[in-house]
Amino acid sequence: MSAILSLNAGSSSIKFSIYRYSDEPSIVVTGSVSGLTASQQYLTFTSYKPSGEVLESIKNKEIECPDHDSAFRIFMEHVDSKAGEKRLVSFDDIAVVGHRIVHGGANARPLLITEDVYHELDVLSDLAPLHNQHALDIVHSCIARLPNAKNVAFFDSSFHMTIPRHIYTYPIDLDVQKRHQIRKYGFHGLSYAFIARETSDYLGVDYGNLNIIALHLGSGASACAILAGKSVNTSMGLTPLEGLPGATRSGSVDPSLIFHYHTDSSRMSTTLSKDIHLTVAEDILNKKSGWQSITGTTDFGVITKRAFEEKDELAKLAFDMFVDRVSMYVGQYWVALKGSAAALVFAGGIGEHGTELRKAVIEKVSCLGFTIDDELNAKASADSDVIIDVSKKDAELKTLVIHTDEQLQMAKEVIALQL
Ligand SMILES: Nc1ncnc2c1ncn2[C@@H]1O[C@H](COP(=O)(O)OP(=O)(O)O)[C@@H](O)[C@H]1O
Ligand SMILES: CC(=O)OP(=O)(O)O
Ligand SMILES: [Mg+2]
């Protein structure tokens, strides 16, 4: 058997999947370690028989795991032990490893990771401080552990290389922008590529005619306006800090507020690991802000529970702030698409599981024509279908929940590009 291993290092989690390399990727093993920014981590692991039936399933088992690379090692040990017992997959079968690398500069396509490419990506690490370095540590582990596999970098930024110049340019000195390749890049692109393809199939609209607003809401959250199948605007920017607030990220704020925060905010931070170079300002805005700074937890599920069941005031404040910022982008992108959006899509950990959040956002943007059916919405969070329509019956505009799958997107691209 020839297999593809897809690795997705997010800011609070790492997700892994192994597929059989055939015309359509078929799943062998999938899993994740979540809670990497919290005090408790959880392992999820599911293996499948060739028929597609579940062979073994572990859900949210409490584990101790300090970082992304350790999570990868735990996953591989698990695969290895199962492979020995039940011959699921051997490491020698893995021909290609797809790595989700958040910041890829202006690269519009995946790249085979050679020594030069690795160096190029290392230089970009400072522009995605919660992501690139973790992903590169895993690339290192793969080179050591799977010496015969090809390592391919898939960039979250690639999908947004179609954004027009007047949108990706910042209103600051043009020479500075050119010298330092400063521009809006945008992220979550593998997820948006997956969402766009699934939505076009579901709606029966040609991919080239697809106009939607997509929301990828997880520990890092972003919105994207997709016109004729292409990204024309997205809320993240030069780095994944811009736009919506996240678990530990401020999102867009008045840039001058940081000068009122700390007098030494431009100094290098001494609290971070040796491989990550951040100023105090970047450390505050990326790691000490977001809803954790308001509520003390990075878990939006916990915040929602506290806000609605315990009537906790700060949890409700964080919830309302998030709803406000998300709906603001829906309004902006509605205009960007000239009112032609066929659907609003919720994805990412919060988009897929946040029943109350979806309801609150749709209430805010209902003036545009979006609807939500309470019963379908409540059921959607526990549903395992890839795509769930939660709009009211006969609604012209669709409200959809999509279980986005960045690992599957990479596997499909590996096969399409015959890597
Ligand atoms: N039931 C829930 N309701 C709202 N949010 C949830 C729920 N379950 C999980 N989440 C949120 O989803 C986040 C993880 O999203 P995900 O997209 O998987 O993470 P990452 O950004 O690391 O890729 C968690 O940190 C949590 O905030
Ligand atoms: C770009 C980004 O923030 O990704 P994630 O949501 O996986 O942390
Ligand atoms: Mg993610």
* Protein residue closest via CA to atom 6 of ligand 2: 220
pTM over 0.80: yes
pLDDT band per the 50, 70, 90 thresholds, residue 83: low
* Protein residue closest via CA to atom 2 of ligand 2: 220
User: Which value, in Å, is the radius of gyration of the alpha carbons in the chain?
Assistant: 21
CB 355, CB 377: distance < 8 Å: yes
* Protein residue closest via CA to atom 21 of ligand 1: 219
Question: What does the pLDDT look like over 283-300, one tens digit per residue?
Answer: 899 999 999 999 999 999
Residue type, 12: S
CA 239 / ligand 3 centre spacing (Å) = 15
Q: Mean pLDDT throughout 53-64? A: 92
Full 3-state SS string of 316-329: HHHHHHHHHHHHHH
Domains for the chain: give ranges and CATH numbers: 3-155 (3.30.420.40), 205-402 (3.30.420.40)
Q: Mean pLDDT throughout 175-193? A: 96
Q: Mean pLDDT throughout 200-207? A: 98
Active site residues: 156
Q: Does residue 272 carry a pLDDT above 60?
A: no
pLDDT at 266: 66
* Protein residue closest via CA to atom 7 of ligand 2: 10
Q: Which two tokens stand for residue 408?
A: 């599957």
Please list, residue by residue across 158-191, b when 16 or more beta carbons sit within 10 angstroms of its beta carbon and e when fewer do: bbbbbbeeebbeeeeeeeebeeeebbbbbbbbbb
Question: What does the pLDDT look like over 9-29, one tens digit per residue?
Answer: 988 899 999 999 999 999 999
DSSP lists the bridge partners of residue 387 as 402
Considering only residues 272 and 177, tell me which one the structure prediction assigns the higher pLDDT.
177
Ligand 2 binding pocket, CB closer than 6 Å: 10-11, 102, 156, 187-188, 218-220, 240
Q: In the 8-state DSSP scheme, what is residue 410? A: H
Considering only residues 267 and 415, tell me which one the structure prediction assigns the higher pLDDT.
415
Q: Mean pLDDT throughout 359-371? A: 98
Q: In a mutational test of the pocket of ligand 2, which residue from 14, 99, 155, 156 has the highest number of ligand atoms less than 8 Å from its CB?
A: 156
Ligand 1 binding pocket, CB closer than 6 Å: 10-13, 218-220, 247, 298-301, 304, 348-350, 353-354
Q: Does residue 189 carry a pLDDT above 90?
A: yes
Indicate which atom in ligand 2 lies nearest the CA of residue 236: 1
Considering only residues 235 and 10, tell me which one the structure prediction assigns the higher pLDDT.
235
Q: Which two tokens stand for residue 189?
A: 């692109």
pLDDT at 73: 92
* Protein residue closest via CA to atom 24 of ligand 1: 299
Q: Does residue 262 carry a pLDDT above 90?
A: no
pLDDT at 18: 96
pLDDT at 87: 58
Indicate which atom in ligand 2 lies nearest the CA of residue 218: 6
CB 360, CB 323: distance < 8 Å: yes
Ligand nearest to the CA of 247: 1
- Pick from 27, 30, 37: nearest CA to 15: 30
DSSP one-letter string for 373-402: -HHHHHHHTT--SSEEE-SPTT-SSEEEEE
Q: Mean pLDDT throughout 303-324? A: 98
CA 221 / ligand 1 centre spacing (Å) = 10
Q: In a mutational test of the pocket of ligand 1, which residue from 101, 353, 402 has the highest number of ligand atoms less than 8 Å from its CB?
A: 353
Q: In a mutational test of the pocket of ligand 1, which residue from 68, 217, 248, 299 has the highest number of ligand atoms less than 8 Å from its CB?
A: 299
Please give the Cα distance from 139 to 383 (Å, whole number).
33
pLDDT at 123: 87
Q: If you count them, how many residues does the chain have? A: 419
State the average pLDDT for the chain: 93
CA 396 / ligand 2 centre spacing (Å) = 31
Q: Mean pLDDT throughout 156-172? A: 98
Residue type, 196: A
Alpha helices, H only, 125-261: 132-145, 165-168, 174-179, 189-203
Percentage, residues of the chain above pLDDT 90? 80
Please give the Cα distance from 319 to 37 (Å, whole number).
19
Q: Does residue 412 carry a pLDDT above 70?
A: yes
Q: Mean pLDDT throughout 215-235? A: 98
Q: Mean pLDDT throughout 203-207? A: 98
Q: Which two tokens stand for residue 404?
A: 């986005």
pLDDT band per the 50, 70, 90 thresholds, residue 259: confident
Ligand nearest to the CA of 290: 1
Quick one: CA dihedral 141, 135, 197, 31, positive or negative? positive
Lowest-confidence segment of 80-89, 130-139, 185-194, 251-260 by average pLDDT? 80-89
Q: 């609209």: which residue's tokens?
A: 205
Ligand nearest to the CA of 32: 1
Q: How many Cβ atoms are within 10 Å of 111's Cβ, its own excluded?
A: 19
DSSP lists the bridge partners of residue 7 as 16, 99
pLDDT band per the 50, 70, 90 thresholds, residue 79: confident
Please give the Cα distance from 152 to 251 (Å, whole number).
30
Q: In the 8-state DSSP scheme, what is residue 269? A: P
Q: Does residue 244 carry a pLDDT above 70?
A: yes
CA 347 / ligand 3 centre spacing (Å) = 10
pLDDT at 210: 98
DSSP one-letter string for 3-32: EEEEEEE-SSEEEEEEEE-SSS-EEEEEEE
